[in-house]
Amino acid sequence: MKTGLHQFEGTPVELIARLELAQHEDGKAERRGTAFGCGAGILFFLGVGLLGLSTDISWLAWPGAFCLVGAVVCVPFFFRADSHDLEDSRYLEPLRFLRVLRTDLPADRPIRLKVDFRDYPWRELQVSRTPEGGGRTRLTYRQPWLEFQGRLADGARLCLEVVRKAERLESYKTRRGKTRRRWRDKVEDRITLQLQVPGLDLGNLVANLSPALPSGMTGRDMKIQGDTVRMVVGTPQTRRSMNQNLGPQDLASGDRLLALLLWVYQGVQRLRSSASQAG
């Protein structure tokens, strides 16, 4: 599976199988990329060394040339493997979410999932670019990387969307004739949850929710109209520097999505109990 935006539709079991296949193919791509990348480097330096020695030992010129040709041949295979190297969290977190939620999803009803398997620093995801002087540039990225739509076993309709927002401060410094690129990021995820519960008026839902949001979430923008609630929350802003990967604990993970859904559903259950008692 190539990196990029993919849309899936099928039963919960089918979508879980597709994500597990993506995980398997990603592992193969990582191993191939490592093998061809290392092979290209080894053959290149070996070829240069042999050609250097061929000035004294002429017959080494041919092995040296073959090594350089082998290095060149390895390069396209490396880039092909790299194009199938997915961002790990982009399949692991939806996979975690679906595996746990599967018990609350009808086995024969299709669900929809949209996943962007890329990391955010892509030109088409760039929102703005602002020079700040002194060799520094501020870049802003916005990436809707996860969307889920499905109906739960009790008939409720669930829509989830996760948008990653990143602000990068990039700088170039020249010392002793060498230019070095440095950057620091501020990253956060915005989670939009929409839940429609047919037949239940959610007007008093806020009063039935626990006062505090689940751990690792900030802010709360909630709108209720009839049987539908729509809310937007954010993850704490995370700082990221060069050569640093983001972990599930930093942003929107499968566990955080499940915790948010459970938090809303507990309020719905309290509201439903109150409505049944009043009736």
The predicted-structure confidence for 92-101, as pLDDT tens digits, reads as follows: 999 999 999 9
Query: Is residue 81 located within the same domain as residue 111?
Result: no
Torsion of CA 120, 123, 124, 125, to 10 degrees: 30
Which of 252, 243, 264, 248 is closest to 200 using CA atoms?
Answer: 264
In which domain, by residue range, is 64 found?
1-86
Dihedrals phi, psi of 173, to nearest 5 degrees: -125, 135
- Given CA atoms 151, 154, 155, 157 in this order, what sign does their dihedral have? negative
pLDDT score of 177 = 67
Query: Is residue 78 located within the same domain as residue 172?
Result: no
Q: Are 250 and 235 in contact (CB under 8 A)?
A: yes
Query: Is residue 110 located within the same domain as residue 247?
Result: yes
pLDDT band, residue 65 (cuts 50/70/90): confident
pLDDT band, residue 279 (cuts 50/70/90): low
Mean pLDDT in the chain?
A: 88
**DSSP state string for 19-61:** HHHHHHHHHHHHHHHHHHHHHHHHHHHHHHHHHHHTTTSGGGH
DSSP letter for 104, please.
Answer: G
Using CA atoms, how far residue 251 sits from 6, 93, 190, 235, 254, in Å, is 21, 11, 9, 6, 10
Query: Is residue 33 located within the same domain as residue 156?
Result: no
Q: Are 179 and 187 in contact (CB under 8 A)?
A: no
Query: Is residue 206 located within the same domain as residue 92?
Result: yes
Query: Is residue 16 located within the same domain as residue 113?
Result: no
DSSP letter for 245, please.
Answer: P
pLDDT of 267 strictly over 60: yes
- Given CA atoms 238, 244, 246, 250 in this order, what sign does their dihedral have? negative
Query: Is residue 259 located within the same domain as residue 212?
Result: yes
Query: Is residue 130 located within the same domain as residue 109?
Result: yes
Alpha carbons 202 and 226: distance in angstroms, whole number: 6
Which of 258, 222, 141 is closest to 188 using CA atoms?
Answer: 141
Query: Is residue 214 located within the same domain as residue 121?
Result: yes
Q: Are 135 and 172 in contact (CB under 8 A)?
A: yes
Query: Is residue 210 located within the same domain as residue 155?
Result: yes
pLDDT score of 278 = 61
Q: In the block, which residue shows the tokens 């760039």?
A: 126
Dihedrals phi, psi of 161, to nearest 5 degrees: -140, 135
Dihedrals phi, psi of 240, to nearest 5 degrees: -140, 135
pLDDT score of 96 = 94
The count of structural domains within the chain is: 2
pLDDT of 57 strictly over 80: no
- What are the structure tokens assigned to 261, written together? 């859904």
Query: Is residue 197 located within the same domain as residue 252?
Result: yes
Q: Examine the fold and report which residue of 86, 120, 151 is the final residue of a domain before the chain moves on.
A: 86
- Given CA atoms 25, 28, 34, 35 in this order, what sign does their dihedral have? negative
Query: Is residue 153 located within the same domain as residue 231?
Result: yes
Q: What percent of the chain has pLDDT over 90?
A: 47
Q: Examine the fold and report which residue of 32, 53, 86 is the final residue of a domain before the chain moves on.
A: 86
Alpha carbons 6 and 24: distance in angstroms, whole number: 16
Instruction: Give the residue-averaged pLDDT of 113-119.
Output: 92
Q: Examine the fold and report which residue of 54, 86, 118 is the final residue of a domain before the chain moves on.
A: 86
Q: What is the pTM of this model?
A: 0.86
Tens digit of each residue's pLDDT (9 = 90 or more) over 133-178: 777 899 999 999 999 999 999 899 999 999 999 999 988 777 776 7
Higher pLDDT, 5 or 134: 5
